Amino acid sequence: MSPLLPNGQENLAFLLSGLFTTISLSLLSISSSIIIGLALLLLRQSSLKIIKTISISLIEILRAIPILVMLLWVYYGLPITFGIQLSPFAAAVLALALSDSAFETEIFRSGIQSVPIGQKLAAQSLGLKPLHTFRFIILPQALRIILPALGNQYIYVLKMSSLASIIGVLDITRRANELVTITYRPLEIYSFLVLEYLALVLVVSFAVRKIEKYFKKQD
């Protein structure tokens, strides 16, 4: 019998049932934030001053808003302001992606700046268009450079996804909170929650190291 409750196995299964939601939420959020971050980066590099100014302003605004505030505004503010009603899960993905996209933009920008300028000049001499140069020459090299930073950012999003429980997302944190209100056993339940997040972060860290080693072998 589990120390969590008389129905130990059921409680353990209940706690673990939020794992898929947590993993899905963090994966979708980081993937979306990378796409948004790249789009903001391309806008920031625009030759048109107005577009560049708008993109920089958006990046600064997104960086300034706390994730919890973004979650609450997306879930409660969008329906009132624009009539857009999102499910708790969709609202959490959007909020986390928007919050993280600004940091992704800076990560990609630093990686691109680390690529030798000679690579870009060589691509131009071969007649490649700017978009093709970015996609096939600059971006692949930048990804190798920024991979550790991207891994750390995913871990950050994974941990911040716990805030989604505030708006009703049934992740592992929400499951733990619900079980605490029933069992009044916060020490055991939250200790198990700590172990769940620890296991997830260790798995991600291991995967990132493996990918880094793979890229080093390709060099």
With beta carbons less than 8 A apart as the criterion, state whether 146 and 110 touch.
Answer: yes
Phi, psi of 71 (to 5 degrees): -60, -50
Token pair in block for residue 184: 């009044």
User: Is the residue at 3 inside a domain?
Assistant: no
CATH of the domain at 162: 1.10.3720.10
- pLDDT higher than 70, residue 4: no
Average pLDDT over residues 133-154: 84
The residue segments making up the domain with residue 66 are: 8-218
- pLDDT higher than 90, residue 145: no
**Residue bearing tokens 């919890």:** 68
Average pLDDT over residues 100-109: 92
Instruction: State the pTM of this model.
Output: 0.87
User: 56 vs 145, which has greater pLDDT?
Assistant: 56
Q: What is the spatial distance between Cα 211 and Cα 97, in angstroms, rounded to a whole number? A: 23
pLDDT above 70 as % of the chain: 95
Residue 112 has a CB neighbour count (10 Å cut-off) of 19
Of residues 107, 105, 99, 203, the one with CA closest to residue 155 = 203
Q: What is the spatial distance between Cα 30 and Cα 41, in angstroms, rounded to a whole number? A: 16
User: Is the residue at 2 inside a domain?
Assistant: no
Q: What is the spatial distance between Cα 8 and Cα 199, in angstroms, rounded to a whole number? A: 21
- For 91-95, the CB contacts below 8 A with 24+ separation are 91/167, 92/25, 92/29, 92/161, 92/164, 92/167, 92/169, 93/25, 93/28, 93/29, 93/32, 94/32, 95/67, 95/70, 95/71
Average pLDDT over residues 72-101: 96
| pLDDT one-digit tens code per residue, 57-77 | 999 999 999 999 999 999 999
Phi, psi of 173 (to 5 degrees): -70, -45
- How sure is the predictor about 137, in pLDDT bands with cuts at 50, 70 and 90? confident
Task: Give the pLDDT of residue 219.
Answer: 61
Task: Give the pLDDT of residue 2.
Answer: 44
Task: Give the pLDDT of residue 1.
Answer: 34
Task: Give the pLDDT of residue 24.
Answer: 96
User: Is the residue at 100 inside a domain?
Assistant: yes
With beta carbons less than 8 A apart as the criterion, state whether 5 and 183 touch.
Answer: yes
Q: What is the spatial distance between Cα 179 and Cα 10, in angstroms, rounded to a whole number? A: 11
User: 124 vs 94, which has greater pLDDT?
Assistant: 94
Number of domains in the chain: 1
User: Is the residue at 114 inside a domain?
Assistant: yes
Question: What is the residue-averaged pLDDT of the chain?
Answer: 88
- pLDDT higher than 80, residue 123: no
83: left (phi over 0), alpha (psi -120 to 50) or beta: left
User: Is the residue at 165 inside a domain?
Assistant: yes
Token pair in block for residue 175: 């499951």
